[in-house]
Structure 1
Amino acid sequence: MLMINRKSDLATQARGQKLKHEIGRSIRMHIVASSEVPKQSGFTLLESLIAMVVVSTLLVGIAPMLALTVAARVQARRVDLATQAARAYMNGVRAGSITVPAVPSGVTATTTAINLYNAAAPTTAPTDSSTRVDTNGNGFSFDDPNDLVIQPIRNGQTVSTTVTEADVRKRGFDLVVRVYRADAFNSSGTAISTLQKNSPTSSATASPFTGTLGSRTAPLIVASANAIDSTTNMSDYANCNPNDADATIAASCQSRLLGQ
């Protein structure tokens, strides 16, 4: 009986050892099989082509908007610089640090302020250094699209041998300035084509949406100011007598005083 039990125990142990061996063999085979599986990662050629098509379609759609946004920002910067240049020029004329500009052709002493806007656009750039603005510190150049040219337009008296600049300032005058891009003129200072002008009823200032970066032939800004000194009175400013015996002169003077 004892021997039978002993044999049974030995058989059980043998079966246990065989089972352990089989389990270990199975685990080892699984590990080897797993290690032999090639690692496949990334995209297939078809997936890559589809991704390229999708990205290209998106770029084609948003590229015009991006270009327009950049162009608008560039033009807005130009207009801001032109506004600063116009203000600085007008303040300089009014303060006396900039010489009073000449009365342009087609404008008279009694031309009303509103009609100054209709004065002819320049065919050549003014030669006065105060009208040529270097905005980026690398020297003024007609080839630089960031530099500016100012066209001053005024009424009032003309400086002559009998009329001094001080007389002109005492009388006072209306001043309109147009600010153009420097590259609206060629290297010799001649306009590249017929430049546009601005009038109160037909604005022709450059738009950021015109030709993407604005029209070179249109003024960036048109501004106006009254130039008078501390001794100027209304009759001086009108450059006439509203009570003149000549009814026509008196009426014209009253209209001038009203800015009509």
Structure 2
Amino acid sequence: MNKPKQMQQNQRQLNRGYSPMSFALERLTSPEPVPLNPSVNVPRGAYHPDNNCQGGKSRQGSQSGFTIIESLVAIIVVTILMIGLAPVITLSVATRVQAKRVELATQAARSYLDGVRTGAIPFGPTDTGSTQGTHKAITRDAASRDDDNLNQVAPPTKAAPNCPANRVYCTSPTSNDSVFYCVDGDGGGCRTSQDFIIQAFGKITTSGIYDLTGSNREFANQVYPNYKLGVRVYRADSFISEFTEGFTAGSTQSSFTGGTGISKEQAPLVIMSTEIPVKEDQLGQYRAICTANGITGGC
């Protein structure tokens, strides 16, 4: 008998027009406590079963955004990671650039050797001009016919390249037993890291490849004599670099590097050699070179 009276009392506590559905929606959407009777004011921050935080603040408001400390910690962590990855990235980029440079230097060396072999690029007895003087680049080889003493040729000395154009011989640097050929990769002269200086030199064996006497009689059917042609390819910017003091000749640079590829003693990027047959119409000049080098019976 008391239940109907209690329900009537609760119903009378609601104002006119304030239905149970409106009460439920307001409880779901309002961060503040909603009393059963809207006419009763609940102080802000007072305890209410709907509040899960002290001070009347909602859980959503206390967890939104980042603090300055959290942002600074994130920045510090990212910075430490970048510092650790920087050497690996630098090594990877430098090695890729160096490998590409060695590849281009190899192409330049092969193109030069093919050009000399076909006569498209003058060298040795094919060159009669006194301005380039490439005939001086063929010298006597003190080794036997089967030995390769091209490494005996001294490396270049440091001097600013003076090359009038691309794919021509340079007047600087100079040497008594080699010539220098410009391969301009960027069109601005042989002075940048994209350009190459080819040191070319030839050797005639003292045993006499074209000799028809003695132990060389087996070469009687050989039509043309040969000479050994060697090339070393250097970076053009190393000739003007303040860091480079000299050049080496025995070994080449590695394609694996963590730096710029410029060193105090600059090594060649590529070393190649081949044998060049002397054409019949050039035999006179070739024999003159042999005579000048004191080679008898071999030309």
Q: TM-score range by the shorter chain?
A: 0.5 to 0.7
**SS class of match (1:108):** strand
Runs of at least 4 residues off by over 6 Å: none
Please list every run of 5 or more consecutive structure 2 residues that lacks an aligned counterpart in the other structure.
34-56, 125-133, 170-180, 206-222, 281-285, 291-295
CA-to-aligned-CA distance 1:200-256 (integer Å, 9 cap, x gap): xxx2x122455612235211110111111577xxxx9xx99xxxxxxxx99xx8xxx
d(CA) in 2 for partners of 1:115 and 1:81?
26
Instruction: Give the CA RMSD over aligned residues.
Output: 4.0
Q: Describe the shift of the 1:178–1:98 C-alpha distance in structure 2 as closer, same or farther (beyond 3 A).
A: same
Q: Describe the shift of the 1:193–1:12 C-alpha distance in structure 2 as closer, same or farther (beyond 3 A).
A: closer
Equivalence for 2:236: 182
CA-to-aligned-CA distance 1:66-125 (integer Å, 9 cap, x gap): 001100011101100000000000000000111014366794155566211221011245
Equivalence for 2:148: 114
Q: Supply the AA of the counterpart residue of 2:30.
A: V
Measured after TM superposition, the shift of residue 63 of structure 1 is: 0.6
Confirm or deny that 1:227 pairs with 2:276.
yes
d(CA) in 1 for partners of 2:94 and 2:189?
23
Measured after TM superposition, the shift of residue 42 of structure 1 is: 2.7
d(CA) in 1 for partners of 2:142 and 2:225?
12
Mapped contact 2:137–2:200 kept (Cα < 8 A)? no
CA-to-aligned-CA distance 1:35-73 (integer Å, 9 cap, x gap): 995745332222222212221121111110100110001
Confirm or deny that 1:152 pairs with 2:200.
yes
d(CA) in 1 for partners of 2:189 and 2:239?
12
Mapped contact 1:72–1:213 kept (Cα < 8 A)? no
Mapped contact 2:90–2:258 kept (Cα < 8 A)? no
Q: How many residues align?
A: 210
Task: Identify, as 1 or 2, the structure richer in helix.
Answer: 1
Specify which structure has the bigger relative contact order, considering alpha-carbon pairs within 8 angstroms and separated by 6 or more residues. Answer: 1
For normalisation by structure 1, the TM-score amounts to: 0.65
Equivalence for 2:31: 33
Measured after TM superposition, the shift of residue 170 of structure 1 is: 3.9
Equivalence for 2:93: 70
Q: Supply the AA of the counterpart residue of 1:81.
A: L
Confirm or deny that 1:133 pairs with 2:183.
yes
For normalisation by structure 2, the TM-score amounts to: 0.57
Mapped contact 2:183–2:190 kept (Cα < 8 A)? no
Mapped contact 1:106–1:119 kept (Cα < 8 A)? no
d(CA) in 2 for partners of 1:155 and 1:141?
27
Q: What aligned pairs does 1:1-260 form with structure 2 within 5 A after superposition?
A: 14=8, 17-18=11-12, 21=18, 23=20, 24-25=22-23, 27-33=25-31, 37=58, 39=61, 40-101=63-124, 102=134, 107-108=139-140, 114-123=148-157, 124=159, 125=161, 129=168, 131-136=181-186, 138-142=187-191, 144-156=192-204, 170-186=224-240, 193-198=245-250, 203=251, 205-209=252-256, 212-215=259-262, 217-228=266-277
d(CA) in 1 for partners of 2:162 and 2:202?
14
d(CA) in 2 for partners of 1:146 and 1:44?
51
Equivalence for 1:245: none
d(CA) in 1 for partners of 2:149 and 2:79?
53
d(CA) in 2 for partners of 1:178 and 1:17?
104
Mapped contact 1:207–1:215 kept (Cα < 8 A)? no
Q: Supply the AA of the counterpart residue of 1:212.
A: G
Q: Describe the shift of the 1:41–1:141 C-alpha distance in structure 2 as closer, same or farther (beyond 3 A).
A: farther
Identity of aligned residues (%): 34
